Amino acid sequence: MVTVDAMALGKDYATQECSIARALEIIGERWTLLVIRDALYGVRRYNDFLVHLGIPRAVLAARLQALTAEGILEKRRYQQSPPRDEYVITERGIALWPALRSLGLWGRQHYTEIQLRYFRHADCGTELGPYGECPACATVVPVEDVLMEPGPGLDPDPADPVSRALLVPRRLLQPLELPVQPGRV
């Protein structure tokens, strides 16, 4: 049992008067930003986060609860029987897209040889600029209009079903619908 207090504290940077430090208190723990990334990609279910991230179950449960408490994810019942909840990213979480985009771009430019994913403006197909803008349309592209496509650096035949589902070009935020397991009718 984790108390609300222990949750609220987390790892704080008490002496820092800085909005970066405030942000890091919320999303700076291990795995947290990857959970948010997956949520932007359309992942919503506990088990999908689990297999896609390879995160320990207890840590995932703690992160989902903390992010829900912070209003970054929203827990929502999507079926009554059996009762099942999904975690949907909120406006506050979506607002982290530019930061994730910047981080990813930095990682690619400095540490990734081959392009792993393309992010395009769904309306015109143009690849996004460094700030998430469309160079052709000269506008900031809303997150739901960002089209994610696999790049040449991505494993074309990954083991887990979530990675496979993310190989199909798709818009951000679009809920991930996993194909029904083989063996079922």
Binding site for DNA (CB under 7 A): 1, 6, 10-11, 29-31, 45-48, 54-59, 61-62, 64, 81-86, 181
| Token output for 82 | 């059996």
Residue 22 contact partner, candidates DNA, its own copies, none, CB within 5 to 8 A by sort of partner: its own copies
Residue 156 contact partner, candidates its own copies, DNA, none, CB within 5 to 8 A by sort of partner: none
Number of H helices, E strands in the chain: 8, 7
20 vs 136 by CB, closer to its own copies:
20
59 vs 88 by CB, closer to DNA:
59
The contact set with its own copies (CB under 8 A) reads 11, 13-24, 26, 28, 30, 33-34, 37, 53-54, 92, 95-96, 98-112, 116-117, 130-131, 133, 153-155, 158, 163
Burial (0-12, 13-18, 19+ Cβ within 10 Å), 152: exposed
- The full DSSP string for 23-56 is HHHHH-STTHHHHHHHHHHT--SHHHHHHHHT--
Residue 85 contact partner, candidates its own copies, DNA, none, CB within 5 to 8 A by sort of partner: DNA
Among the listed residues 151, 142, 150, the one whose alpha carbon sits nearest the alpha carbon of residue 172 = 142
64 vs 89 by CB, closer to DNA:
64
Phi/psi of residue 78, nearest 5 degrees: -110, -5
